[in-house]
Structure 1
Amino acid sequence: MTGIRIAVAQPTITKDAKENGATVRKLMREAATGKARLIQFPEGQLSGYPKEQLQDWSEVDWPVVRDELEKIKKLAARLRLWVVLGSAHPLTPPNRPHNSLYVISDAGEIVDRYDKRFCSNTEITQFFSPGFEPIVFDVDGYRFGCVLCVEVSFPHLFAEYERLGVECLLLSAYPVDSTLELKARAHAAINCYWISLSLPAQTTHLMASGVIAPDGTYAATVAPSAHLTLTTIDRDTPTYDIPLNKARPWRSTALKQTIYTTRRVADPRSTNRTCS
């Protein structure tokens, strides 16, 4: 089999980290049974998400969150499964947590962590400290990156990941309206890469979780009554020859501008934009 098989989770999130951790491990086992190499979870999956499950950080039992995270790491090693897990990441008091995605390798180690850079107004004023860096990581020769929720409204982040060579961008969210899907599909088609969209079960009335292909169409979706979908991302699939092998390289060439500047003309009918 060519490509890489990934699982996208659509679980119910609660305010109980122990319950959330058990849900994560259950879906990890299902993903491993389906021969996935990576599973992605929504924003705030382990800790619970502010404004929805949580109204204040005092409601979070941080030792339980850490304990559940350790159990998830150990299971990742046993299953040989990469895990991208949404959770608040506590900092040293009185600093507010980061809104994060833990990247757990198939050796059971946290190899990186994405901290949300563009938090919503409520998030930045009441709940979170911002991050400032993109992250990329490679699994079986495929390059992944991470973004969170409202960052879908910041196109330069998606262009940045295209320049970093990402082939699948993992977008985890807790959406409040259906425009997130429209924007995600546009970013996938413009940047010519896959976008994997993991959302909680509580938001299926807005859109389904799933994997958007480099042409902006869905490669897979999670059914409203389900909690997981699996699909294979394969850069050699003929269906995506144009976006991957023609459009994306051309866009990279065009952005360098050389192909245009070397063809600049010295013509008064060009410089005079009022002539007929």
Structure 2
Amino acid sequence: MTGIRIAVAEPMITKDPAENGAKVRELMKVAAGHKARLIQFPEGQLSGFPNEQFQDWSEVDWPLVRDELDKIQKLAARLKLWVVLGSAHPLTPPNRPHNSLYVISDQGRIVDRYDKRYCSNTELTRYFSPGFEPIVFDVDGYRFGCALCVEVNFPALFSHYERLGVECLLLSAYPADAIFEVKARAHAAINNYWIAMSLPAQTADLMPSGLIAPDGTYVATVTPPAELTIATIDRDDPTYEIPLTKLRPWRALARKGDIYSARRVVGDPRSTNHTIS
């Protein structure tokens, strides 16, 4: 088999980190049983999400969150499975937490953490401290990046990941409207990479979780009552030869602009005068 198999999860998120952690580990075992190398979870999966599972950070049992995270790390090492896990990440008081994705390697180590950069107005003024850096990491020769929810509204973030060589962007979210799906599919088709979209079961009526191909079509979606889907990312799949080997290199070249500036028409009034027919 060529490519890499990944699992995209769509579990219910609760207020209880112990219940959330148990569900994460349950789905990790399912993913490993299907030979997945990586499993992705929604925004806020472990801690719960503000305004949804709780209203104030005082309601979150942080020692329990850390204990569940430790159990997840140990299971990742045992299963030899990469895990990308949404959770609030506490900072030193009085600083507000980050809205984060933990990147846990198949050795059970947190090798990186993505902190949401473009927080919503409510997140920024009531709940979270923003992050400032993109992250990329490689699994079995494939490059992944991370983004969170409302960041779908910032195209520059997605094009930056294209320039960083990302082949699959892991977009975890707790979406509020159905147009989110259209935006995600557009980013996949414009940047010619896969987008894995992991959402909670609470938002399944808006759109499915799943894997979107470099041409903007779905490779696989979660179909309830299932809580995850397994799909393969394969850069050598002939289905995606045009978006991967023709469109993506051409668009990268076009964005630099040299191919256009070199062909600028100079000294022709029919070009410079915009009022003539």
TM-score range, shorter chain: over 0.9
Letter of the structure 1 residue corresponding to residue 198 of structure 2: S
Aligned twin of 2:272: 271
CA contact (8 A) 1:181 1:207 kept: yes
Deviation digits for residues 113-166 of structure 1, max 9, x if unmatched? 000001111111100000011000000000000000010011110011001000
Counterpart Cα distance in 1 of 2:54 and 2:194: 32
Counterpart Cα distance in 1 of 2:176 and 2:262: 47
Aligned twin of 2:214: 214
Mapping of 1:1-276 within 5 angstroms? 1-266=1-266, 267-276=268-277
CA contact (8 A) 1:102 1:113 kept: yes
Counterpart Cα distance in 1 of 2:248 and 2:219: 19
Deviation digits for residues 16-63 of structure 1, max 9, x if unmatched? 001100000000000000000000000000000000001100011100
Q: What's the secondary structure of 1:243's corresponding residue?
A: helix
Q: What's the secondary structure of 1:122's corresponding residue?
A: helix
Instruction: Quote the offset at 1:262 in angstroms.
Output: 1.0
Letter of the structure 2 residue corresponding to residue 38 of structure 1: L
Letter of the structure 1 residue corresponding to residue 236 of structure 2: D
Q: What's the secondary structure of 2:112's corresponding residue?
A: strand
Counterpart Cα distance in 2 of 1:261 and 1:129: 42
Letter of the structure 2 residue corresponding to residue 194 of structure 1: W
CA contact (8 A) 1:149 1:173 kept: yes
Instruction: Quote the offset at 1:224 in angstroms.
Output: 2.4
| Runs of 4 or more consecutive aligned structure 1 residues displaced over 3 Å after TM superposition | none
Counterpart Cα distance in 2 of 1:109 and 1:275: 65
Counterpart Cα distance in 2 of 1:252 and 1:177: 31
Counterpart Cα distance in 2 of 1:52 and 1:126: 14
Deviation digits for residues 52-78 of structure 1, max 9, x if unmatched? 001100011100000000000000001
92-101 or 259-268: which moved more?
Answer: 259-268
Counterpart Cα distance in 1 of 2:126 and 2:263: 52
Deviation digits for residues 163-216 of structure 1, max 9, x if unmatched? 100000000000111011000000000000000000001110101100000000
Letter of the structure 1 residue corresponding to residue 276 of structure 2: C
* Percent of pairs with identical residues: 78
- Stretches of structure 2 that go unaligned for 5 or more consecutive residues are none
CA contact (8 A) 1:208 1:224 kept: no
Provide the TM-score with structure 1 as the length reference.
0.99
Instruction: Quote the offset at 1:275 in angstroms.
Output: 1.4
> How many residue pairs were aligned?
276
Deviation digits for residues 58-107 of structure 1, max 9, x if unmatched? 01110000000000000000100000000000000000000000000001
Q: What's the secondary structure of 1:190's corresponding residue?
A: helix
Q: What's the secondary structure of 1:102's corresponding residue?
A: strand
Letter of the structure 2 residue corresponding to residue 6 of structure 1: I
- Stretches of structure 1 that go unaligned for 5 or more consecutive residues are none
Counterpart Cα distance in 2 of 1:261 and 1:174: 42
Letter of the structure 1 residue corresponding to residue 225 of structure 2: S
Q: What's the secondary structure of 1:255's corresponding residue?
A: helix
Q: What's the secondary structure of 1:240's corresponding residue?
A: helix
Q: What's the secondary structure of 1:129's corresponding residue?
A: coil
